[in-house]
Amino acid sequence: MIGVFGGSGFYSLLENASAKEMDTPHGKPSSKITIGSIAGKDVAFIARHGERHQYPPHTIPYKANIWAFKQLGVERIIAPSAVGSLKKEIKPGEFLVPEQFVNFTRRDDTYYNDETVHIASHEPYCPYLRDLLISTGKEMDLPVHGKGTVVVINGPRFASHAESNMYRAMGFDIINMTQYPECVLAREQEICYANISIITDYDTGVKDDPTIKPVSIEEVLRVFKENN
């Protein structure tokens, strides 16, 4: 089974869909799990921010979401998300399939708080799924960047100019609020995970181009809707 996190626009892609209420040792998932099929494949879908978009990034029940997918038998997760660009050449309306993350959040990020378990995260995103997403995007003539590093911030506020400049100076490509701890929790549950980053904005703008303005929620929603 394939698991997908995303927004409500995904429902229309599912055939023979039904909703399932689930509970986990880590609480309820963000939404009911919608189970259906796409091109003959079984797909389970969770609305990451809830069916009414009621969960801001720092309160999403990440552990419950991943646990529910595991209980359903999900083996691979495709996780689209909105991101801001930190580089002029990575433009709003384009896509990026990240290969690395840097975590700047303060979230519960493990199922192993009561025992010592170490996991490898040198390659945090599934290379098989990454290659599949990149090649499929190119086949569809979509503007896809095949590598990059995402810095994940706690939210819900956007970055300050100083923070954004620091992230650029550190060499990061995009900025997001939800990819961590989602990706490492999936790894702890031995589920392959890859992200499709939908570039919606230029974060705090572009210093040498005054026409490119800092991020606004209206612009994020407009571009995200188009790319969905």
d(CA 55, CA 49): 5
Cβ-contact 50, 178 below 8 angstroms: no
Catalytic site residue from 131, 201, 208, 209: 201
d(CA 20, CA 122): 35
Cβ-contact 68, 27 below 8 angstroms: no
- Strands 76-85 and 174-176, sheet pairing: antiparallel
Specify the 3-state DSSP secondary structure of 128: helix
Length of the chain: 228
Judge whether 201 counts as a catalytic residue: yes
33 pairs with which residues across the strands? Answer: 20
Judge whether 173 counts as a catalytic residue: no
- Look-up of token digits 């023979």: 16
- Tokens of residue 45, six digits: 């879908």
Catalytic site residue from 23, 108, 131, 203: 203
DSSP per residue, 198-218: EEEE-TT-BTTBTTSPPP-HH
What is the DSSP secondary structure assignment for residue 31, as one 8-state letter? S
Cβ-contact 182, 64 below 8 angstroms: no
* Residues with catalytic function: 201, 203
